[in-house]
């Protein structure tokens, strides 16, 4: 079986300690978490946790997703390969303003990498780049020739290539089942 990079998307209630429990599922299966991002989703009361892991088989990631779904506060979990999603990261680069101006090609770099300046003062300049890991790393390599003072890259965020958010179908189906049960009781 071929090992791939997978993006695991977990829809859950926002409960204390949930991230620790989720990371334990990955640890027990000897999977590294490359990136983790958590935020509110488009569904009220539901949060999205996006985790990137690699070097595992599809069978292993299926087992992880099933284990995650056993948690009471996890509504649903999905896994995707890179070709099934659209994903990005945000990177910030802090540089000495003097060094940046001395290099003389900042405008060309910003244009080439579709980056922008978000803060500039006499001491430092902060540049923002949104893109895939390779793109943000390439810009870092270019800028580091002039001395990057600080660099940070966010976790991956992703949407599926499917028309609707997959958890919506799951929730709608669950509501239908719940209504059937209620109607049968009456």
Q: Are residues 62 and 111 in the same domain?
A: no
| Residue range 117-151, pLDDT digits in tens | 999 999 999 999 999 999 999 999 999 999 999 99
Q: Are residues 14 and 76 in the same domain?
A: yes
Q: Are residues 75 and 91 in the same domain?
A: no
Residue 45, classed as helix, strand or coil, is: coil
Whether 24 is in a domain gets the answer: yes
Q: Are residues 97 and 126 in the same domain?
A: yes
Compute the average pLDDT of residues 161-170.
Answer: 74
Q: How many domains does the chain have?
A: 2
Give this prediction's pTM: 0.81
pLDDT band at 95 (very low <50, low <70, confident <90, very high): very high
**111 lies in which domain range?**
86-155
Tell me the C-alpha distance between 90 and 131, whole Å.
7
**pLDDT of 30 above 70:** yes
């Amino acid at each position: 079986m071929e090992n791939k990079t997978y993006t695991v998307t977990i829809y859950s209630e926002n409960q204390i300690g949930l991230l620790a429990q989720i990371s334990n599922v990955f640890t027990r299966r000897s999977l590294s978490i490359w990136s983790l991002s958590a935020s509110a989703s488009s569904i009220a009361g539901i949060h999205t946790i996006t985790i990137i892991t690699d070097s595992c088989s599809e069978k292993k990631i299926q087992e992880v997703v099933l284990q995650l779904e056993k948690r009471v506060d996890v509504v649903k979990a999905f896994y995707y390969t890179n070709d099934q999603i659209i994903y990005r990261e945000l990177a910030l680069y802090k540089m000495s303003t003097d060094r940046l101006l001395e290099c003389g090609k900042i405008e060309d770099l910003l244009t080439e990498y579709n980056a922008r300046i978000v803060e500039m003062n006499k001491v430092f300049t902060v540049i923002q780049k949104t893109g895939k890991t390779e793109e943000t790393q390439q810009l870092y390599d270019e800028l580091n020739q002039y001395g990057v003072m600080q660099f940070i890259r966010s976790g991956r965020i992703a949407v599926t290539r499917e028309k609707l958010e997959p958890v919506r179908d799951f929730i709608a189906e669950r509501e239908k089942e719940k209504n059937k049960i209620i109607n049968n009781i009456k």
